[in-house]
Structure formats: structure tokens, C-alpha cells
Copies of this chain bind each other. A is one copy, B any other.
């Protein structure tokens, strides 16, 4: 007798292969195994409209309504009864249908046409996107992509290309959990953005011919706070197409900071859209969410989207795999947060509300730019930034000659300057302007500059490492 789980796996893998041989080739061993099982959530979904439904281990009033503790119902008093019910009861594993529809519209309404989406005659209408699957924040979307594509086949670690410096949690999400290896290349060269970093990283990664790889395209970037110009975007795209000439390449568009762009002429749309339809070996996936886009950090609502039509067989096959992995790791996504998010997403004025947050950050961005323009380049070299939540500064010649590392500077700022920044690697400090009052940014930069100057003076050039 065939194991039904095995035959479901085979059917899903065949469906994916038919639509995109490259995507099928890129699946990890876990990605190949994953298939939403026909157990409780599957059976409960079939019983949803039945007169007598005893499928689901959820305490209800017997008619589908929640049985809230009164103290908890009071805390949810800002919601109507129907929404409160939805907040208290299980979400479907794929997410609440209305939230998925609203988020798909939100994503597509934000495809700007600054520059050229190139190769897409027909504009936004011609671009493909599945109904987004709901995740527990952005990181969960990344870890699902890692589960699907980064797991090492036959013990051979798969390469994941990330421009350096990078958000440290990529290492945990992609490498620690799955055994993949992070390969990196400088995101900045001679103080300028390097649009071919991903290609360079993979070129130096000692890959076998045709071996699949992953890459992370995150604009606006963390920690860089950078989004490429239209010309740089074209170079990013061309460099990834060049990689795809040689191997299946899954590109994760990490769109955590989508929309937070502060300079005219810089495209705001996700690379997910630009990378579609460029090469059969090039498959973008989109990871985004309400965390930063709708200022809902504590809600943990993220989304995972593939470049296919919502009801296509390949979309359904990928949905089955993702639902399997979501159920295995966290059961189901957060209903309460989805309902709270829906209050905003379903409101006509939400675009204006989000724009007000962007303007608040734009003011901080300008204040930080102005302050950093005045620092001594021998001590600190601000790297280009134009978007997102951060600016990145590199230690200059003087502190490096004095053997000062970024973490030494960070600890000195904590102790002597009552100021907290994040150190990244040996040379970089990240300033999160998103969490500092505009009026305080000049003083924060003064303290940073003073801290570095004091350390340099104390050490003298050429002294011992710290």
C-alpha cells in the first residue's frame, strides 16, 4: 500500500516542477518532504459548515463563538463582538482569508513606477503574486524560506548570499537551523553601494556547476538604510540574471522596511517585482509584514508570497508545503494580531496614516544626515543611506590605526556617553534613527564623535588592540 503522505509529497513536488523546474531543483530535503497532512486542520476545514461539528479542540459556545474569560474580553473591548471572536479563536493555518486578500491588495497598490520595471510590458497588471501566507512576523517568513530552500542536501551546505555587513539574524535563520552557509561580499566599496555584491559572493563560493543557491535582496537594507537608484537597480537585476544563467537562484526579497524611502527618484517597490520573468532559473520570493510597514512590532504578522497566480496549481502546492511547516513549528499564526491589523488594513485612510509615520522618520533621516555631514572623516565615515530605519558608519583611519574595534566603541558609548548603538563586525556601528527623537539625533552624533575622539586620543595611534 502506498503511504498517502508520500504520494501527496510526490504530487506537490511534480506540480512545482511543472511550473518551475528551477524552484523544484532548489527545494531542500525538508522542502521536498513537506506536505500539509490530512489530519485535524484539514478535516476541520471540511467540517466547517456542518450542523454538528465536533472536529476541533477549541473551546467554543457550541455554535462557533468564543468563550472568553471576562477579564480578557475587557482587554479586547476596542473590537466588536465578531472581531473579538476571531481574535480569540484559532486562525486558519494559512491566515485569515480577509487579511490575506487585503495584504495582497496593499502589496500591489505599492508597485511604484519610478524607473522601469523592465521586461514587464503591461505594468503592474502583468506581475504575478500568490495570496500571501500569514507568518509570525518577518523572521518566520525568512525561516520558512530557509526550511524550504536552505537545508543542506546530502550534507552539502547550500550557499546563501548576503551583502556584508548584514543583519546577524540571517545567520541564525538560514545557517544555524538548516546547516546552510552564509557567503558574503562587501555591500559598499570605496564608500559607495556595490550593486553586484550578491553575484560576487556566489562567484567566490566554490559552487558546483548547476548547484542551486539562495540570495537575499533587502532594500531598504538593514543595517545599511540604503535603497538603490534606478541605475543601480538595473545592475542588481542584471547581476542576478547572470547568476541564473548558471544555476537555479531563489532570491528572498526581504521587504521589512518597504515604503520607508526619503529621497526623490529612489524606487520604493520590492525587488520581488523587478526580478519576475527575467530568467527561468531566477525565482524571487517576497517576505514582508506589518511589523515596520504598519508600525505593529508586537503583533508578529508577516507574509510570505510567491511569484505565481493565486489559484494556480503551483501556488496551491507551495501553500501546502508552507502550511505543513507552519503547523509543525507554531501550530497556526496569531489570530488576535491579524484582527487588530485588519482594523487598519480595512480602513480607507490607512495609506495616509502610514504616510504620516514615513514623514516622521523622514524628519529624523534629515536630522541624522545633517549631523553626520559634520563628523571628522578620519574618525567616522558615514556610508550612503536614503531609506529605512538606519544609518551605518564605518570607523575611520584614526580609530582603526589605534586598534579600536566597533564593539569597544559601543561599550565606551554605553559607559561614558550614556548612549547606545549597535556594533556590527569589527568596523561598523548602526544608528537606528527610527527610535530616536529628531531633536536628539544631533546630540547622539556629537556623543558618538566625542566617544571615538576620546578613545583615539587615549590610545594613541598604533597601540594595542581592544
Chain A residues proximal to chain B, CB less than 8 Å: 30, 33-34, 37, 39-40, 43-44, 46-48, 50-63, 66-72, 74-79, 83, 86-91, 136-140, 143, 147, 167-169, 171-173, 176-177, 222, 292, 294-300, 324-325, 327-337, 339-341, 343-344, 347, 349-350, 353-354, 357, 360-361, 364, 389-390, 410, 414, 417-424, 430-440, 443-444, 447
Contact = CB atoms under 8 A, between A and B. Distances in A.
B330 A137 contact: yes
23 contacts: A34-B176, A39-B168, A47-B420, A50-B418, A52-B420, A53-B419, A55-B422, A59-B297, A59-B360, A59-B435, A60-B434, A62-B437, A66-B297, A71-B350, A74-B78, A75-B343, A75-B344, A88-B296, A90-B298, A136-B136, A137-B331, A177-B325, A177-B328
A368 B47 CA distance: 20
Nearest to A437: B62
A397 to B, nearest CB: 23
A419 B49 CA distance: 9
Contacts of A89: 297-298
B137 A54 contact: no
A358 B207 CA distance: 59
Contacts of A91: 298
* 9 cross-chain pairs, A with B, having the tightest CB-CB distances, nearest first: A47-B420, A62-B437, A298-B335, A77-B78, A139-B331, A172-B328, A75-B343, A39-B168, A52-B419
A67 B294 CA distance: 10
